[in-house]
Structures are given as structure tokens and as C-alpha cells.
């Protein structure tokens, strides 16, 4: 199985490198892990990206933010149904609708009714389409002052509406309640227990030497994104090695301090349809029976120069991670690999079940 996994990971990395400047793919099946890279980091050393190459992971950050919520909720520091306004500075005008305030649960499941982007940001993007770092101005003051004029598109809790603003506000609010910065909160509550030393917001020192260079869809170097106080929506950098540790905690339950939070994050759900739902941070769907009826839990991400995907099947203990240093989605190749792992798992199960 180890050789098969390594071959499949390399084939997927090679496939992605046809559209990415460089890519790293990790495949996990039970206790077997294979990490392979292809293409170039695009950085000054221009080597092949590998297990410890840093990538911007974009919106995959949201599952870290949501797990931090579950961690603090498990400890009694916050309540899932606590209003967002309770965690923000006194006097902050937080929108509501039909008498229903926005709760932390709503933010983590994208059911707050908040728009996708902070107030005025879409207009700025239209007026300045070539702006290299569109989120740089998302300071706490700007985000909170913009809430006063923000209208909700639906009553909180009623409808799924993906929101970078909501996820960023969740990260900001949790850090305020914990009395620290967002990066420190994620390190303390998630990365330290899982020994993930390369998952950070701020990249400096030796980490800079291991960072891939991002690229636009046309392959031109892209400036890094700094999400300021919206970091909880997409500000993390990470490596395939760290993300394997993160996803294995999802498959195995994680260490004692995180296990309860992981269970909580997946027990909360908002149904989007008969086959799709959203947990705290994670998207989930069950394939049609003709496709094997497999459960897939996932999140993807994208920034100005990077793309990412993390997906797993907790029932079969399979997972795929794909990281690219170009603004082109890696989802299709990653999902195809996850489907192939399902097929291999089924064949192995059938072989084992056959009598000698």
C-alpha cells in the first residue's frame, strides 16, 4: 500500500504541476502517509517543493478558526450560541435580523447572513482590480466600524451564505476573548498540541527560506496577502507535513486536549441539502450510492498566488492534501485522488474478506 500511495501522490503532483508552477500532494490511508512534490517553489532557490515547503493556505484557515472556537467552547471560555457582540468592544454596532443576533455558531457555519466581504471592499476591488493585497486594510477598526452599515442577507441561522467577513470576525472575537492575538491563539490551542511548528500567520527568519513564491493564473509572481485582522478567514501559512498532522487528528481523534473539540466541531451541522452540510468550519457531502456513498469532509482555499485543498473520509480513514503556488484551483485533482483512494480501500477490503 505504501508504494501505491507514493505513486498516486506523485502522479497527482505531476498533474497539478502542469497548471501550477509547483505543487505538493499528501495522501493518507490509515497509518500510511505519502508526500510528493513536483514543479518549482518559484523562490530564489527554485527547488522542487516538498513536505516542509510553506504555502499560503487561504480559506483552509477557516477550519483552524472554527476548531479554536470548539476548543474554547469545550473549555467554557465561550458559548457556541453566545452573541458576537458580547466578544467585541462595547458600543460596537452588530447587525441583527428579525430579532435574531449573530452567534459564534452562525459565524463558523456561514449562517450569519453577513455578506462575503467587508463593507466597501467589493467596490474597491472593482475600482482597483490589480491591487496586490486586497485585504491589507482589514484592520479591527475598519472591520468593526463597517459593521454598523452592514445589512444581513438572511436571518442568522436560516441560510448558508459563505462569508470571509464572518470567519474573520470570528477569529478576531475569539482572540479578544482569549486576551491574545489570533496567531498566538491558533498556536496555543491547535498547533502546539499537534506539534505543528510551521503553521503561522507571520513568516520570517528560516521560515522565509522555505516559503514558495506565489503566482498569478498566468504564472507571474504574485505579492503575498496579509489579511490584517481578518486573518481568521485566510491568513495562515502551512506545510504538507503540518497539515497531515492536522488531518490525522481529525481521523484519529487527536490528543486528549483536542479530542473533545474535534468531536464538537463535527457534531454541529447545518444542512444545505439532502446530501450536503456544513460543520464548524468544514464542508461535507455524501456521494450518491452509485459513486460509493462515501462521506467527504473538506475545505479549499485560494489567495492571490496560492491554492489549497484538505479533504478526508473519517469512515475509511483516508485523506488528501494538495498545495499549489499558483492561483489555479487544485480541487479537481485532489478529489480525484480521494476517489481513487476510496476505490483502493474497497478493493483491499474485498480481498481481505475473501476466504483462502
pLDDT at residue 228 is higher than 50? yes
pLDDT at 356 over 60: no
Where is the domain boundary, 25, 51, 77?
A: 51
In a domain, 123, yes or no: yes
- The pTM score is 0.95
Looking at the fold, whether 47 and 60 belong to one and the same domain comes out as no
Instruction: State the pLDDT at residue 44.
Output: 76
Least confident of 159-163, 252-256, 348-352: 348-352
Q: Flag whether 330 is in a domain.
A: no
Over residues 330-348, mean pLDDT: 91
Query: In this predicted structure, what is the pLDDT of residue 86?
Result: 98
Cross-strand pairs, 35: 26
Q: Tell me whether residue 339 is in a domain.
A: no
What is the rounded distance in angstroms from the CA atom of residue 80 to the CA atom of residue 103? Answer: 7
Q: Is 336 inside a domain boundary?
A: no
Query: Please, how many CA atoms are within 13 Å of residue 77, restricted to the half-sphere of its CB?
Result: 18
Work out the average pLDDT over 283-310: 89
Residue 128 scores a pLDDT above 60: no
Are both 42 and 124 inside the same structural domain?
A: no
Q: Domain total for the chain?
A: 2
Across 3-32, average pLDDT: 96
Mean pLDDT across 335-349:
88
Residues 106 and 65 in one domain: yes
Which residue range is the domain that position 97 belongs to? 56-317+345-353
Cβ atoms of residues 115 and 163 within 8 Å: yes
* Whether the predicted pLDDT of 306 surpasses 80: yes
Same domain, 31 and 124: no
Taking all residues of the chain, what is their mean pLDDT, rounded to a whole number? Answer: 93
| Share above pLDDT 90 across residues of the chain, in percent, rounded to a whole number | 83
Q: What is the CATH number of the domain that holds 60?
A: 3.40.710.10
10 and 92 inside one domain: no
Q: Residue 287 has what pLDDT? A: 78
133 and 172 co-located in one domain: yes
In the structure, what pLDDT confidence band is assigned to residue 122 with cuts at 50, 70 and 90? low
What would the mean pLDDT of 170-174 be, rounded to a whole number? 98
Q: Check pLDDT > 60 for residue 17.
A: yes
Same domain? For 36 and 127 the reply is: no
67 plus 213 within the same structural domain: yes
| pLDDT value of position 127 | 45
Taking 80 as the threshold, does the pLDDT of residue 232 lie above it? yes
Same domain membership, residue 235 and residue 148: yes
Average pLDDT over residues 55-76: 98
Lowest mean pLDDT among 36-45, 246-255, 262-271: 36-45
Q: What is the pLDDT of residue 126?
A: 43
Q: Calculate mean pLDDT across residues 169-173.
A: 98
Out of 162-166, 241-245, 313-317, 347-351, which region has the weakest mean confidence (pLDDT)? Answer: 347-351
Structural domain includes residue 326? no
d(CA 268, CA 279): 5
pLDDT for res 329? 97
> Could you tell me the CA-to-CA distances from 252 to 107, 153, 301, 315, 348 in Å, in that order?
26, 38, 24, 11, 21
Same domain, 140 and 18: no
pLDDT given at position 131: 66
My answer on whether 125 and 35 are in the same domain is no
What is the rounded average pLDDT of the residues 222-235?
Answer: 95
Q: Is 158 within the bounds of a domain?
A: yes
pLDDT at 313 over 60: yes
Assess whether 74 and 193 both reside in one domain. yes
Quick check: is 331 in a domain? no
Amino acid at each position: 500500500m505504501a508504494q501505491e500511495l507514493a505513486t498516486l501522490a506523485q502522479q497527482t503532483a505531476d498533474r497539478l504541476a502542469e497548471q501550477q508552477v509547483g505543487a505538493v500532494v499528501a495522501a493518507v490511508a490509515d497509518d500510511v502517509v505519502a508526500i510528493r512534490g513536483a514543479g518549482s517553489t518559484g523562490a530564489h532557490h527554485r527547488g522542487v517543493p516538498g513536505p516542509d515547503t510553506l504555502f499560503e493556505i487561504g480559506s483552509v484557515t477557516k477550519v483552524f478558526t472554527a476548531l479554536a472556537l470548539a476548543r474554547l467552547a469545550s473549555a467554557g471560555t465561550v458559548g457556541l450560541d453566545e452573541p458576537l457582540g458580547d466578544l467585541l468592544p462595547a458600543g460596537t454596532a452588530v447587525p441583527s435580523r428579525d430579532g435574531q443576533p449573530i452567534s459564534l455558531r452562525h459565524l463558523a457555519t456561514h449562517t450569519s447572513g453577513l455578506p462575503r466581504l467587508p463593507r466597501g471592499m467589493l467596490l474597491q476591488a472593482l475600482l482597483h482590480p490589480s491591487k496586490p493585497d486586497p485585504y491589507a486594510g482589514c484592520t479591527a477598526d475598519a472591520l468593526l466600524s463597517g459593521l454598523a452599515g452592514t445589512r444581513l442577507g438572511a436571518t442568522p441561522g436560516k441560510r448558508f451564505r459563505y462569508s470571509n467577513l464572518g470567519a474573520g470576525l470570528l477569529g478576531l472575537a475569539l482572540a479578544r476573548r482569549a486576551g491574545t492575538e489570533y496567531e498566538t491563539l491558533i498556536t496555543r490551542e491547535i498547533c502546539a498540541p499537534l506539534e505543528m511548528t510551521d503553521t503561522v500567520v507571520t513568516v520570517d527568519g528560516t521560515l522565509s527560506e522555505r516559503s514558495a513564491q506565489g503566482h498569478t493564473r498566468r504564472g507571474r509572481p504574485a505579492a503575498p496577502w496579509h489579511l490584517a485582522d481578518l486573518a481568521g478567514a485566510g491568513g495562515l501559512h502551512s506545510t504538507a507535513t503540518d497539515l497531515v498532522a492536522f488531518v490525522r487528528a481529525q481521523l484519529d481523534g487527536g490528543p486528549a486536549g483536542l479530542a473533545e473539540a474535534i468531536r464538537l466541531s463535527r457534531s454541529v451541522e447545518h444542512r444545505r441539502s439532502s446530501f450536503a452540510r456544513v460543520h464548524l468550519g468544514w464542508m461535507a457531502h455524501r456521494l450518491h450510492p452509485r459513486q460509493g456513498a462515501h462521506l467527504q469532509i473538506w475545505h479549499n482555499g485560494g489567495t492571490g498566488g496560492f491554492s489549497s485543498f484538505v479533504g478526508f473520509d473519517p469512515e475509511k480513514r483516508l485523506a488528501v492534501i494538495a498545495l499549489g503556488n499558483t492561483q489555479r484551483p487544485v480541487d479537481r485533482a485532489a478529489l480525484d485522488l480521494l476517489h481513487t483512494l476510496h476505490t483502493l480501500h474497497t478493493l483491499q477490503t474485498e480481498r481481505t474478506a475473501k476466504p483462502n
